[in-house]
Amino acid sequence: MSTLVTLRFAPSPTGLLHVGNARVAMINWLFARSQGGRFILRYDDTDTERSKAEYADAIGRDLSWLGVTWDSSARQSDRLPQYEQAATALKKAGRLYACYETPEELDTKRKLQLARHKPPVYDRSALKLTDEDKAKLEAEGRRPHWRFLLDHEDVSWEDLVRGHSHAHAASLSDPVLIRADGTFLYTLPSVVDDIDMGVTHVVRGEDHVTNTAPQIQLFKALGATPPTFAHLALLTGADGEGLSKRLGSASLSDMRDDGIEPLALASLLSRMGTSQAVELAGDMAELAAEFTFERISRASPRFDPRELDHLNAKRLHGLAWEEAQGRLAALGLTDATPAFWDAVKGNLTRFAQVSEWWQVVTGPCATVIEDAGFIAQALSLLPPEPWSVETWGQWTSAVKDATGSKGKALFHPLRLALTGRENGPELKNLLPLIGRDKAVARLSGQQG
């Protein structure tokens, strides 16, 4: 019986979901769905001071908006007994040892090692402490933090993005798993959860590569087979430099408030940094069906807001009336028609802009009369209703014949007089929606 492919996205609810970690969530979800596997949302909330329920709620809300659904969820704060049990087992096995240095003492050690041109690796001096030494330190009020004793061996793994990878544990400090106040750092709960939840693949940013060798040893020390790892290159800005503070702090909630379409963002996050062209997908299922790690480059993908804007506009331009109708009603445009939507959607870059064009169509609308004589002639030639998409062409042909105006000199003043805008949707589509009464008022210099 084959093992069910299982992935997890494990954010710390200490802030909002941002574009960089949203990409990690997307790729975990895409691979899980492409393999018919499971996707777990796990909140790494053992940092009780910084973790907030409102951030956890916001992360779930943002993922749902993006189209990333999960099969189950968990909170590390509910699983402290499991971590205590694992820590006890590691202590009994001699793989978790007590250390009593203060942060200041550790900092001094690091500085001395660097001054001697040595790597700032923990010297394991705590292993030399006798029971009497430990009792004396604790009598002074010190409480131990606990480090995982690494085997000084070469640790290798086949990374789904980086290929064959390895690190020699002798070049690494024994990681602290438990703080002096008894709280757990990231590493132990993460590994215990991955074991208990049957996680088969850990997909994360390449800033976690240095954690991989110790974690592989920790999996084995707890009697488990390590998962497969994939480390994704971190996003850069459009210029190839590190993400600016402005872009790096672009939360999904900000993007949603700005009118970004979730499928546009999902398409960009899924296809950027791959061998595929970045194009708008038909839906999330299409993105999952095509996903493969072989397409992901080791080079840092570039996040370009202009590319996102392009995809966003393309999404709106192709949005069917059936998809738009409910959203129009939510904006209060309950009388909007398919003809109106088809007329204006090609000029939208954000859905909310549709309200501006509704105002242009229904009025009142502040218009501009550039040449009163020309507009008066045009008004006299305005045909009677009923109007259709042919009316604009028939009317402008008559105005052209009467005035001799053509091209921009013909169309631009009529657009300004009818809409008050320099540009916009095709007037052959807008004119029948505006209607003759409002057109007459606007051509007469009134707010129709």
Helix then strand then coil, % of the chain, to nearest 5: 50, 15, 35
Looking at residue 250, its pLDDT comes to 76
Q: Is 5 left (phi over 0), alpha (psi -120 to 50) or beta?
A: beta
For residue 108, how many C-alpha atoms fall within 13 Å in the half-sphere facing its CB?
Answer: 5
Cβ neighbors of 37 (< 8 A, separation 6 or more) are 4, 5, 6, 7, 31, 200
Looking at residue 325, its pLDDT comes to 97
Mean pLDDT by 10 residues, the chain (448 residues): 90 92 96 98 90 94 97 96 98 98 94 91 96 96 97 97 96 96 95 98 96 98 98 85 57 93 97 94 97 95 93 98 97 97 97 97 92 95 96 97 95 96 96 96 88
The domain segmentation of the chain, as residue ranges, is 1-76+233-317, 81-178, 321-362, 372-443
Domain at 372-443: CATH code? 1.10.10.350
Taking the complete model, does pTM exceed 0.95, yes or no? no
Cβ neighbors of 92 (< 8 A, separation 6 or more) are none
Calpha distance 197→177 (Å, rounded): 20
**Residue for token digits 């060798």?**
213
Distances, alpha carbon 132 to alpha carbons 32, 95, 97, 315, in Å: 52, 21, 15, 70
Calpha distance 108→221 (Å, rounded): 31
Q: Where are the alpha helices (DSSP H) in 103-232?
A: 103-115, 131-139, 187-196, 209-221
Computed over its alpha carbons, how large is the radius of gyration of the chain? 31
Domain 81-178 belongs to what architecture?
Alpha-Beta Complex (3.90)
**Token pair for residue 97?**
């040892």
Q: Which fold has domain 1-76+233-317?
A: Rossmann fold (3.40.50)
